[in-house]
Structure 1
Amino acid sequence: MTATAPLLNLAVTAAVVGAVMLTAFAFGVRLGRHSVVDVAWGLGFVGAALSTAVLATASGAGDPARTWLLAALTTVWGVRLAAHIGLRARGKGEDPRYERFLARAPGNPHLYALRVVYLLQGSLVVLISLPLQVAAYTAGPLGWLALLGVLVWLAGFLFESVGDAQLARFRADPAHRGRIMDRGLWAWTRHPNYFGDALVWWGLFLVASGSWWVLLTLPAPLVMTYLLTRGSGQRLLDEHMKGRPGWAEYARRTSAFLPRPPRRADG
Structure 2
Amino acid sequence: MNMLLLIIIAFWLSLAMAGAWAIQRVTGLNGWIDTIWSFAVGVGGIIAALFADGNPDRRVAILVIVAVWALRLGSHIGSRTRGAGEDPRYAKFIEEWGESASSRLFFFLQIQALAAFILVLAVYMAATNGAPFPRIPDLVGIIIAVLALAGEAISDLQLSRFRKTPQAKTEVCETGLWRYSRHPNYFFEWMFWCCWILFAASPSIASWLSLLAPLLMYWLLVHVSGIPPLEDHMLRSRGQKFRALQRRVNAFFLGPRRQDIHPEGKLK
Where in structure 2 are there 5+ consecutive unaligned residues?
A: 261-266
1:66-145 to 2 correspondences below 5 Å:
66-105=58-97, 107-116=99-108, 118-142=109-133, 143-145=135-137
Where in structure 1 are there 5+ consecutive unaligned residues?
A: none
RMSD (CA atoms): 1.9
* Number of equivalent positions: 258
Indicate if the aligned counterparts of 2:13 and 2:40 stay in contact, CA closer than 8 A: yes
Residues 1:202 and 2:202 aligned together = no
Q: Which residue of 251, 254, 258 corresponds with 1:256? A: 251
Indicate if the aligned counterparts of 2:30 and 2:85 stay in contact, CA closer than 8 A: no
Q: Which residue of 30, 50, 58 corresponds with 2:26? A: 30
Instruction: Classify 1:176/1:93 alpha carbon distance in 2 versus 1 (closer, same or farther; 3 Å).
Output: closer
Alpha-carbon separation, structure 2, partners of 1:97 and 1:53: 32
Indicate if the aligned counterparts of 1:189 and 1:255 stay in contact, CA closer than 8 A: yes
Residues 1:218 and 2:214 aligned together = no
Question: Which amino acid in 2 is paired with 1:216?
Answer: L
Once the two structures are superposed, residues 81-133 of structure 1 have per-residue CA deviations (whole angstroms, 9 ceiling, x without a partner) of: 111111112143432321221223375422221111x2111110001221211
Once the 2 structures are TM-superposed, how far is the Cα of residue 71 of structure 1 from its aligned partner?
1.9
Map of 2:264 onto structure 1 = none
Instruction: Classify 1:125/1:211 alpha carbon distance in 2 versus 1 (closer, same or farther; 3 Å).
Output: farther
Map of 1:234 onto structure 2 = 227
Question: Which amino acid in 1 is paired with 2:32?
Answer: V
Map of 1:159 onto structure 2 = 151
TM-score (norm 1): 0.89
TM-score (norm 2): 0.89
Alpha-carbon separation, structure 1, partners of 2:18 and 2:202: 34
Question: Which amino acid in 1 is paired with 2:42?
Answer: V
Once the 2 structures are TM-superposed, how far is the Cα of residue 76 of structure 1 from its aligned partner?
0.7
Alpha-carbon separation, structure 1, partners of 2:203 and 2:23: 40
User: Structure 1 residues 97-106 or 126-135, which shifts more?
Assistant: 97-106
Indicate if the aligned counterparts of 1:150 and 1:204 stay in contact, CA closer than 8 A: no
